[in-house]
Each structure stands twice: as structure tokens, then as C-alpha cells.
Structure 1
Amino acid sequence: MPETLNRLRRIDPWGPALAAASVVVFLVHGFGGILTRDLALYAYGGQQFAEGVPPFVSVLNRAGPLAHMVPGVATWVGRLLGADSGSDDLFVMRLLMMVLSVAAVWVVYLLSRDAFGSRLAGVAAASSLLAFQGFVTYATGGPREKTTMMLLVAIALWAVVHRRWGLAGTTVALATLTWQPVFFGGAAAAAVAILLLRARRAQLTALVRFAVGGLLTTAAFVLYYVLVDALEEFLDAFYFINATYTRQTGLLAYFADEPSEIFDGFGWSLWLILLGLAAMVVLGAVRVRRLDRDDPHTVAVVALGGGTLASVLWSCYVFNGWADAMFMLPFAAAGLGGLVHLVARLVPARAGTVVVAAYVAIVLVAATLSSWQTRDERLWAMRDVNEDVLEVVGPDATVMSVGAPQPLVFGRMRNIVYHQMFIAGLYEYVDDTWPGGLEGLAADIEDERPTLITIDHPTWYDFIDPVVERHYEELGTTYLMTWYVDRSLGEAELEELREIVGRDLPDD
């Protein structure tokens, strides 16, 4: 017992304090965010994994397998504890995402504290992370792979700062197995830190440990897919489709073509993020000019600056939406922590503490207000529509999702085929690989004759139009998806379905 008490006393109290503050911010935001297409895809993949279906076998997706496995573990635990509906599954997944986000705040504090050698920097960085709107959105409004990925990135960077190369390699691999592009920032930070080691032998040892950690972790996932006889599906989804079919844009083109979308995702905090990224690069560059390889803080800051620069450059090449910026948030938070720390050092000691305290107070208040202002309660109405529709069509009903997996999540149902996404190159992939191409897929859907077809954007998928026109009635559009039902249902059921889908919904 005395040893346990001593260990507790050695815990830096600012970590738990910031974690507690994050819980408040996240709970203010609430768990009622609408279930969008991408969120539903990961929730559906998680449900299927909990039922024993491996990622990429359950549904074709181009993120890493952990994007499905993590919400799957939450679903499995929730069902053990008595979760008895799709909405219960979703709540447990979101609860886990909040726990991971709380952990990310704590780790970012440790990362920045240890990189800059200052608790003030750590507190400022963790507080800044809470002010990033998109981070809070997914903390309780997921599940999204970016939440898991962010925590793993923060741990990887902390391991780099402490020269724990095996852990760094393992966590960079795990982050990459969640969302592939994160590899470039994490690997760049590790590479810079390794190159700054003085002895050639130390560099080689560090590189080997980093590589072994990453390769063993990746090999474990490859072995899993070999054992479940799905290695081809894993390789296709994780690498080959992305390398050969996926169409992507870059950050600058995205800002030029769709600036409102990234502002919608991050709001005012976008400017804070940009400032943090710029600050981290500049702070790293300044340390390079006065490079002291024997100073661990100098090496840490230069490594973080290098990782930030690599992340930004990659984003200039590939960027598909505001959520793609989330892998840069630990770098941006650390940059803001370092910038506030620098300002505090330029003024008298007591004034420096006041500067940091004022900054932290402002961003935490802003984070809480932003969390409340972006609070979304439409999930409950969405759930009611989905559950009511599924109740009318009955327990034997089947669903074909075309970019609209929400009914599958709420109803704990399985799609009639493992394809649901047909955008950004997947349209061409399915046409090339499905027997008979997209026309063959449409014919197979017609043979299966699902009770319901749900589509996110009906004008995007002309291959399914003939099937819909021959056999289905359009019920209407609710919350990001259009419903079609088989006309063979009785008129009484059709009329009831029309009424359900035709309801007035909050902010539909």
C-alpha cells in the first residue's frame, strides 16, 4: 500500500485535471450527434466485427482495420453488459470514443510538457486541443477512425520524445493501421529524432528498434487475416485500392474549391490550428539553427517540427475533407503549447504564469461555449424514423445500403452485399472487379430483391436506377438518405411508411 501511495503521489496532477476538464467539455457537447454516412459505416463495421466478421469482409472500406475493430470491441463489451439495440451499440461506441479522447488530452499534455520541459507548455497544449472543434465533434459524435488514430499519434510522438523507439514504431504502425496517411508525420518525427542522435551505432539501434516495433505489429495483423482467410481483402482495401483507384485532392485545392466545408468542421478553431502548425514548424526551425544534440528538449522540438512539416506537405498532396486534418492536431496543439511557453519566457516570471493562465482560461471557456453551440440532438429523431420503418417492414426485411448504412446500424442488420461505398474511385473498382461489373451488381441486387434500399445521393449511382424504377417506390428523404421500399408490400404498410418518412424532423 505505501508503494501504491508513492506512485500516486508521483503522478503529475495536471494530467488528471485536464482529463477531468475534457470530460466536462465533451459532456456539454453530448452524444446526440446525427449519424452521418461515414460514422454509420464505422459503426456498422464495428457491429459486424463484434459478431465475428473481419474488417473488409463485412464491408469494403479504405481505412485501416482498427477503424472497425475499436468500435467493434466497444460493441462486444456493450452487448456483454446488456446492450439490446442498435442505438445502444452506438452509444457504447461513442462512450469509448470519449474515453479515447480524454486519454488523448492527457497524453498531449505529457507530450508537450516533456518536449518543451515545461508544465505550462503542456497545459496550454492540452487546453488548445480541447478548443479544436472537430476533435470535440468526434469525441462524442462518432465512431470515427480519426479519434483512435489521434490518440495513437500522440502516444507515438511522446515515445519519440522519450526515445522509446520500439513503442514509437508500434504506435506509428497501429495509427497507420487505423488511418494510413498518419504514417508520414509519425515516421518523419521519429526519423528526425533518430538522425539527431550523436553516435552512428545509437542511430542504427534506434532505427532497428523502431522498424521492429512497426513490422511486428503489422505482421500480427497480417497473420490475423491469414488465419481468417481474408488476406486478399486486407491487402486490397488497405493498400491496392488506395494506390490504384482512389481519387483524391490536395489541401490547397480543397481550400479553393470547398472552403466552407472545412470551416464548418472546425469553425473559429481553424485559425488556432493553422497558428499551431506554423508555430511548431518555426519553433523546430529555430532550434535547428542553435542545434544542441545533447539537449533532449532541442531534439524533441526539432523532431516535432519535422513531423509537422511532413504532415502538412502530405496534406497538400492528399486531402479529402476537414476530418483529414485531424492527424495534425497533436502537432498543432504542441505548437500552441510551445508558442505560449515562449511568450511566457519573454516576460517576467510571475507575468509569464499570468499569460499562460489567461490563455488557458480563454481557450477552455471558448471550448466549452463551442461545445454547447455545436451540440446536436438530431440522433434521437433519426433513430425513431429508422426503428419505426424497420418495425413496419418486419424482422425478415432485408436492406441494401448505397452510401446510407444508418438502418443497418439501428436495426443490427447485415447488408445484402459487402459493397456500400462507390465514391472517389470505388465506382470504377467495383465495375472492374464485380462479376459483370456494376450491371452485374445491379442484377444481383435485383435477384436478392431487398425490402429496402437506402441511398445517400440518388443521382450519384445510375447503375441501380433500373432496379429502383422497376420494383421500388420512393418514400422520401430523411437525414442524409433517401428511402425506397419494395412495391410488393401491402398498401397499408406503404401508407404507414410514407407517414413515417414524411414526418417533420428537427433541422432535416
Structure 2
Amino acid sequence: MPDRKPSPASRFRGLDPWGPLLAAVASVVFLLHGFGGVLTRDLALYAYGGQQFAEGVPPFVAVLNRAGPLAHMVPGVGTWVGRLLGADSGYDDLIAMRILMMVLSVIAVWVVYLMARDAFGSRVAGVAAATSLLAFQGFVTYATGGPREKTTVMLLMALALWAVVHRRWGWAGVATALATLTWQPVFFGALGAVVAGALLVRGGRGTLVALTRYAVGGIVTTLAFVVYYVLVDALKEFWDAFYLINATYTRQTGLLRYLADEPAEIFEGFGWSLWLILCGLGAMVVLGAVRLRRLDRDDPYAVAVVALGGGTLVSLLWSFNVFNGWADAVFALPLAAAGLGGLVHAVASRVPARGGVAVATAYAVLVTVAGGVNAWTTRDDRLEPMAEVNEQVLEVVGPDATVMSIGSPQPLVFGRLENPIYHQMFIGGLYEYVDDTWPGGLDGLAADIEEDRPTIITMDHPTWYHFVRPVLDEHYEDLGTTYLETWYVDSSIDEEQLAELREIVGRELPD
């Protein structure tokens, strides 16, 4: 693993073999984790949105979601390709989406290698960064256990940072816009890296040109989506979901409050790799600060490291303001990986030549093996039994039955169904939004549900939805809960079907 600094002119003259090699290693790690992870509420929301997009429904029209439209479009592409190749069930749709997420994650590993290599002028840094990424548990979880918008965001964030490293400001704007159109908060971290890098361009005019190109790239990309929504006559839905609800209704939790309320959740999401991530983020800030103190603006490596350090610092500051779960840290993982890559490079460069290579090789092997072991030990195989329960319930009630999900879209995904209402989420301020915008408020929604009387209603946490409780108590039978889904069936169903449904939902499943 030679540590040399290729010149900008020769850097891309031939294919760097480390990129595809690391992509191949990443594929092995992801396959060890498998595609069988249980389908949670949030994952089902994006899967359902992807299915609707594959069927020609624009994002936010079939289901309300506060993320960006690409959060639906990308899994929708996976669904569409899967169906072209013969996917004939909701389960097959989901596997197709997860395969696409794995492909994006493999590409992300490759891009992180290139970004760190070019920022520090060292293949050692690139390899260390890419292999560090494979040790991050949350990244591997979503690589094959999605679909989740954070996978797409992480790849686009890495592309934006790579563009900043090479001072390709227009492309950085395009990547930032695409990332923001997937998950809005990523904008601030990418912007921090761009501003830090642009301010270091010599001359005020150079900085202005850099920021202008960045803005143009971002604005043109965003306008393309606006035009799309105008053409499909859904601009209001886009505006409300992408901006208005987030600006006026959404309630956010900061990092300190989150750690106080849910101290164990972030450890469950990242496991032991949380300490590695924190080390990488801290290292990236420190490395950027060290280069800034002795900055040579004509040194592209120094400027790139300062830019990445600036992006890391802004990302951390943003997280102190808004942080709702461990998944919200995923967008910063390319920066954490780059910090670890730079740290390994700094250590290796201070050791005699062969010793430096040995140190870097030992680190890369260690974190790759640890990542592979962690991928295997956190492997989840509950998807098939979960799908069986959903498919059997839907088979018993028959093809003419209607299914309504309130915070539990899994049956919609497995059955390729459409929800009678476009609301799924009611938490974090959406409760108030629905109450303000639905005719008659939440009571009106409950009255509409009572009038429509769907055959099946599913929920994630029944105690969260008090507005529908009177309807359930009067007209529905509680079948029980399986894997985050609580099932209710219309009490008019015949006794034989009711008994069969209770047996399906109530049977013991793998934990």
C-alpha cells in the first residue's frame, strides 16, 4: 500500500486499483449482513413511497413525508428495475430496493476512498477512510436493511465533499442540492465545507466565483425538481412536505436533549463503532485546525483538509441543534471516515517507510475484519416470517378487503396496496398539522375512518393515536402485535376468519 502523492494531472490518468478492490470488499461485508432485516415503520414508509413512485405517483402525493422527494424516488427506481426483472410481490419489491441501496453503499465506499485519498494526497488515508466506513454499524445496517434516505444522502454527501476537494464548485452545488432533496439537514454540513474551501481561494474574486458556481449548480438542480412538480401538478404538495411543514410544524430534538432522553438508542444503532465515529469526527476537526494554523493556500491538500474540517465542525454544531435519532448522524459518516483516514496517514507518515505501511495495513485489516464480524453478528433474518404474517393476513381477508395504515405501512408494502389516506406519520408536530389541515381536524379524520370502515387497520403504537380509539373500540377486534405492527380487523368479519387471523398474528415468531 504505497503512500505517494500523485500530481493533479496524473491522478486520474488510470484507474486506481484500490477503488474497485475496496468496493469488492464492501460487497462481501454487506452480503454478510444480508437482506433479511425486519421492516420497521420508517423503512416501510420509504418502501411504500418507492412503490408508489414506481407506479407513476409523484412523491408526497400518495403519502406525506417530511424528507425530500429523492427519498421516495431512489427506492422507486429499485422497485421499477426489480419489476422489470420479474419481481412479482411486495416482498420482491423490497429486496430489489435493498439491492439498490447496497449498490449505492458500495459506490459510497469507493467515493470516500477517492475523497480522502485526494484530500490528504495519500492512498493510505483513502484506504483507511474506506475501511473505517465499513466498520460503522449504522452504515452497514442501512446498506442492506433499508430502504432509508440516509443511504442516498451519505453517498451524495461524499460526492459533494469530493467535489470540494477538487474545487469543482458547480458539481459540489449539484451534489449538495441532490443531497438536500433527499434529506434537508445535510445542506448545512455540505455548505460548511464549501464555504471553508471557497474562502481559502486566493483573492476576493476567486471566492466570489467559487460561491457563485456553487449556488448556480444547486439552484439549477433544485429548479429541475420544481419544474417536475409543476408538470405533474403537485407543486403545493412538494412545497408543503419539503419546506412548509418542516418550517412551521416539525418539532426537533437537539443532541444533548436526545442523549438525555434516549441515552441507549445511539449505542444500539452504532454499537462499538460509535467510539470510532467520534474519534474520526474529532480528528477531522483537529486536522483541519492544524492545517489552518500553518496554511499555504497554494497547497491543495492543506486547503482540502481545512474544508473538510470546516464541514465537520458545522455538522457537529447542527447536530447539537437538531438530532432525532442515531440515523441522523449517518450524513456525517464520510467526514468521520476521512478524519480516521487522515489520522492513520499522519501516524504512518511519521514512521519509517516500511513501518508506516505496516501500521496502515494493520489498521485497514483490523477495521475491515471487525466490520465483517459486526455485520455477521448483527445480521437479522426476521423479514421472511414478517412477510409471511402479512401475506397470510391479507390472504384470509381476501383481495376485496381494504387496509389502512396509521404509522405502520408494512402491509401496504408486502401487499402492494394503497393507503386510503396519505397520512402515515403523526409524530414530531404532524399531529398538529393533520388537526389543522384535515376537514374537521383529527375528529373529522376519525369520523371518515368510521364511515369508510377499512377491513384492516394497522398501527405501530396504538396509544399514540387517541383520536381513532373510539372507532376501534366500537367497530374493531384487536388481533395482537407482530414485529411492530398492531392489527385490528372489522368486527363484522365472520368467526372462522377471525379465529384464523388470531392464530396467524398470535403465533410465535423468531425474536
Pairwise TM-score range, normalised by the shorter structure: over 0.9
Look up the match of 1:104. Answer: 108
Q: Is structure 2 residue 171 aligned with structure 1 residue 167?
A: yes
CA distance in 1, matches of 2:11, 2:311: 33
Deviation at 1:206, TM superposition (A): 1.4
* TM-score, length of structure 1 as denominator length: 0.98
Match for residue 149 of structure 2 among 141, 145, 148: 145
- Which of 317, 323, 326 is the equivalent residue of 1:322? 326
TM-score normalised to structure 2 length: 0.97
Measured against aligned partners, the alpha-carbon deviations of 1:440-487 in whole angstroms (never above 9, x if no partner) come to: 011111111111000100111100001111110000000011000011
Match of 2:382 in 1: 378
Match of 2:413 in 1: 409
Could you say which residue in structure 2 is the equivalent of 1:120? 124
Please list the CA deviations of residues 130-164 of structure 1 after superposition, one character each: whole Å capped at 9, or x if unmatched: 00000000000000000001000000100010011
Give the deviation of 1:489 after TM superposition. Answer: 1.2
More divergent stretch after superposition (90-99 vs 254-263): 254-263
The answer on 1:434 being equivalent to 2:435 is no
Q: Name 2:507's counterpart in structure 1.
A: 503
Equivalent residue of 1:259, what SS? coil
1:19 corresponds in structure 2 to: 23
Task: Give the whole-Å Cα distance in 2 for the aligned partners of 1:44 and 1:393.
Answer: 21
Q: How far apart are residue 7 of structure 1 and its match?
A: 12
Written as runs of structure 1 = structure 2, the 5 A alignment for 1:438-457 is 438-457=442-461
**1:369: which partner in 2?**
373
Deviation readout 1:288-326 (Å, 9 max, x if unpaired): 100110000000000000000000000000000000000
Residue of structure 2 aligned with 1:392, choices 376, 380, 396: 396
C-alpha separation in 2, matches of 1:463 and 1:255: 30
**Cα distance in 2 between the residues matched to 1:75 and 1:447:** 33
Rate the CA distance shift 1:216–1:424 in 2: closer, same or farther, 3 A.
Answer: same
What is the DSSP-based 3-state SS (H/G/I as helix, E as strand, rest coil) of the residue aligned with 1:10? coil
The corresponding residue for 2:304 is 300
2: distance between equivalents of 1:491 and 1:257?
Answer: 44
Aligned partner of residue 180 in structure 1, secondary structure = coil
Distance 2:463 2:320 in 1: 30
Q: Tell me which amino acid in the other structure corresponds to 2:170.
A: G
Q: Which residue of 2 aligns with 1:359?
A: 363
- 1:488 aligned to 486, 492, 500, which one? 492
Quote the offset at 1:9 in angstroms.
8.2
Residue 135 (str. 1) matches residue 110 (str. 2) = no
Distance 2:257 2:336 in 1: 21
Residue of structure 2 aligned with 1:34, choices 33, 38, 42: 38
AA partner of residue 287 (structure 1)? R
SS in 2 for 1:418: coil
Show the 5 A alignment for 1:212-251. Answer: 212-251=216-255
Give the unaligned 5+ runs of structure 2: 1-9
Residue of structure 2 aligned with 1:278, choices 269, 276, 282: 282
Q: 1:10 aligns with which of 9, 14, 17?
A: 14
- Cα distance, 1:201 vs. partner? 2.1
Structure 1 runs (4+) greater than 2 angstroms displaced: 6-9
Q: Give 1:200 deviation, angstroms.
A: 2.1
1:443 counterpart SS class: helix
Amino acid corresponding to residue 270 of structure 1 in structure 2: L
In the TM superposition, what are the counterparts of 1:198-217 in structure 2 within 5 Å?
198-217=202-221
Residue 342 of structure 1 aligns with which residue? 346
1:94 alignment partner, one of 98, 117, 125: 98
Percent identity, please: 76
Q: 2:187 aligns with which of 169, 183, 188?
A: 183
1:471 aligned onto 2:478: no
SS at match of 1:339: helix
Of 202-211 and 390-399, deviating more is: 202-211
- Offset, 1:427: 0.3
Question: Match of 2:245, as an amino acid?
Answer: I
Kindly provide the CA deviation profile for residues 192-226 of structure 1, in whole angstroms up to 9, marking residues without a partner as x: 11110002222222111111100000001111111
1:346-399 deviation digits (Å, cap 9, x = unpaired): 211111111000101110110000000100000010000000000001111111
Structure 1 gaps of 5+ residues are 1-5
Determine helix, strand or coil for the equivalent of 2:264.
Answer: helix
Kindly provide the CA deviation profile for residues 22-53 of structure 1, in whole angstroms up to 9, marking residues without a partner as x: 00000000000000000000000000001111
Q: Which residue identity lines up with residue 296 of structure 2 in the other structure? A: D
Q: Which residue of 1 aligns with 2:161?
A: 157
Amino acid at match of 1:452: I
CA distance in 1, matches of 2:216, 2:13: 35
- Give me the whole-angstrom Cα distance separating, in 2, the residues matched to 1:89 and 1:430: 30
**Secondary structure, in 3 states, of the residue corresponding to 1:125?**
helix
Would you say 1:289 and 2:289 are equivalent positions? no
Q: 1:48 aligns with which of 52, 66, 69?
A: 52
Q: Which residue of 2 aligns with 1:3?
A: none
Query: CA offsets per residue over residues 95-118 of structure 1, 9 Å max, x none?
Result: 000000000000000000000000
Question: How far, CA to CA, are the matches of 1:11 and 1:129 in structure 2?
Answer: 21
Q: For residue 7 of structure 2, what is the aligned residue in structure 1?
A: none
Counterpart of 2:116 in 1: which secondary structure?
helix
Give the deviation of 1:8 after TM superposition.
Answer: 10
| Matched residues, number | 502
